[in-house]
């Protein structure tokens, strides 16, 4: 069996099967299912050259789970194995595992008493709504 090797700015992926039922349990006929837009990267090309002649590597690695633009993917088959080839520019994101603790650290900090007091008052007073800027143009909260 042969396996394709991507060249340049291309990647090869195996698609991830999507469930054939909706979240409510309704079976979706094949004509109403969207083609899979998620896949696992199998192989990555070398990248592409920028205008200065430097090689720009591809942002994903083999084994990464990605979301891609399925309209631009091309099908390749060797024996009973199927892959999709697409330009690295068509990768929308790389799915990463996060822990519960790490996910909570991204929350916005609770408002302080100073922030709450500056928000209260006359809603039509534009001076209260404008951010306070220091001499460098940065917000000073």
Structure confidence by residue, pLDDT tens digits, 48-90? 998 999 999 998 999 999 999 888 889 998 888 889 999 999 9
**Is the model more confident about 34 or about 123?**
34
So what's the pLDDT on residue 98? 78
Per-residue CA distances from 128 to 16, 50, 124 (Å): 51, 47, 9
So what's the pLDDT on residue 139? 54
So what's the pLDDT on residue 132? 57
Res 4 pLDDT > 80: yes
Spell out a b/e string for 92-102, using b for 16 or more CB atoms within 10 Å of the CB, else e.
eeeeeeeeeee
Res 116 pLDDT > 50: no
Structure confidence by residue, pLDDT tens digits, 12-50? 999 887 666 666 777 767 666 666 688 999 999 999 998
So what's the pLDDT on residue 46? 92
108-133: average pLDDT: 52
Domains of the chain, each with CATH number or no CATH: 1-19+28-96 (2.30.33.40)
So what's the pLDDT on residue 16? 81
Res 118 pLDDT > 50: no
């Amino acid at each position: 069996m042969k396996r394709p090797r991507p060249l340049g700015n291309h990647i090869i992926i195996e698609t991830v099967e999507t469930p054939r039922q909706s979240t409510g349990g309704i079976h979706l006929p094949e004509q109403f299912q969207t083609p899979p837009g998620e896949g696992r990267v199998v192989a990555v090309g070398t990248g592409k050259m920028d205008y200065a002649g430097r090689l720009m590597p591809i942002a994903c690695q083999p084994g990464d789970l990605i979301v891609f633009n399925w309209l631009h993917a091309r099908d390749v088959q060797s024996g009973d194995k199927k892959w999709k080839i697409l330009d690295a520019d068509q990768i929308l994101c790389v799915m990463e595992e996060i822990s519960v603790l790490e996910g909570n650290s991204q929350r916005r900090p609770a408002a302080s008493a100073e922030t709450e007091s500056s928000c209260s008052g006359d809603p039509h007073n534009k001076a209260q709504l404008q951010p306070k800027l220091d001499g460098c143009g940065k917000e000073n909260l």
